[in-house]
Structure formats: structure tokens, C-alpha cells
Amino acid sequence: MEATFVLYPNMTALDFVGPYEVIGSVPVVSTRFVAATLDPVKSDNGLSVVPTDTFASLKSTDIVVVPGSSHWRELLRDSGGVVEWLREVHPTTKWTTSVCTGSTLLAEAGLVSKATTHWAAREDLSVRGVEVSDDRVVFDGKVVSGAGVSAGIDMALRLVEAEFGEMVAQAVQAGIEYDPQPPRAYDSIPPEVIDGLKAAFESRQVRPD
């Protein structure tokens, strides 16, 4: 089985690295990285990743993983070919997945009816006609979405369980020693912290003309 991770400028590194470690731990899975060109792609925090394939060369795959970005509204204005490629490849996939604001790209491509995303981007899903969930992982047919950033690990484990069974998922979880113990849920974080984060996220967005 082949899993393909979508790369584009200003993607969030953990959005694809987390699922990559989970899905890539399954021995029967081979991995690819697809982008507009074969040039290295830099994440929003500066990590560079070299693609193995381009949107023009890769026309089918079993699993697609679409990471999000802290610059998601800019990306929605010009995805650099990501949205078009997703529309093209989706009919060939067994699973089409997203992490964080990557679900807004699936929504822009018209591929999802119910999804989750980072809490700061829920409105961007809603205005695209998607039923927005605050669950950490959402299955919508063969489309699977994970909430913000670290939820990509949870999404990938749920995907491995759905595809390969509970024992395989448990083995992968034990292998990466994933035992999440977050200090608090989003809803219990002080409002002033959330307001500061929202301001930081907004400062990265490109406003419509």
C-alpha cells in the first residue's frame, strides 16, 4: 500500500511528520512526497523536505495525507496546484486524509461534507459548506480529518486501525511510545491565551482584496 504526503510552501511540519511516523511504521506501506516541483519545500518553521514526485507525475495513490498551514487563508487563495491535484487523485484513493487546516483544502476541492480542523479555522470550513466537528478525528466516508497539528498522530493511528486492525495500531502506538497527556483541553485554556493565539494566527493571514 502506498501513502503519499502532500508538500507545499509554509505547510506545518508536524502535520505530516506525525502521520508519516505512524503510517510509515506499517511494514507493508511505502511512502511518497508530492509537490508542485521536485525542489525542496520549506515548512512554515523552516524545515525543508525534498519531494519524490510532482503533481504532474503522480496520478494515483492509496492514501493521501494533506497537512495544514499557519498561512491557510493565503493557501486557499492560491494553493499552488494542491486543490486541483486533490480533485484529480481523490477518485483513485482508498483514503484521503487531512491534518489541521489541511481540511480547508479538501473543502475547497469539494471532497468532504463533515470534517474537523484547527479551532482557529473552523469558520473557514463552515463557509465552504462543511459540517464542522470539534472532535479530534472525523471519518466522512473515505475522507478522514484530524484537528490541530498534533491530532495528526491520532488521525493516523485511527486510520491504521481502520485499514490494518486494532493490533497493528496498538503496535505502532507502542513503538512510537505515544501516550498523550495534554495539560488541558482547548475549552479550558484562559481566554487571554486564546486571544493572543488568535492575534498571532491572524497576523499571518493574507486578507482578500
| The three three-digit cell numbers of residue 203, written as one number | 497576523
Q: CA–CA separation, 69 vs 109, rounded Å?
A: 16
Tell me the chain's radius of gyration from C-alpha atoms. 16
Residue 3's φ and ψ, nearest 5 degrees, are -115, 130
- Please tell me the distance from the alpha carbon of residue 17 to that of residue 15, in angstroms, as a whole number: 6
Question: Which residue numbers are catalytic?
Answer: 100
Nearest alpha carbon to residue 109 among 88, 87, 134: 87
Which H, E and C letters describe 104-146, residue by residue? HHHHHCCCCCEECCCHHHHHHHHCCCCEECCCCEEEECCEEEE
- Describe the chain by its helix, strand, coil percentages, rounded to 5: 40, 20, 40
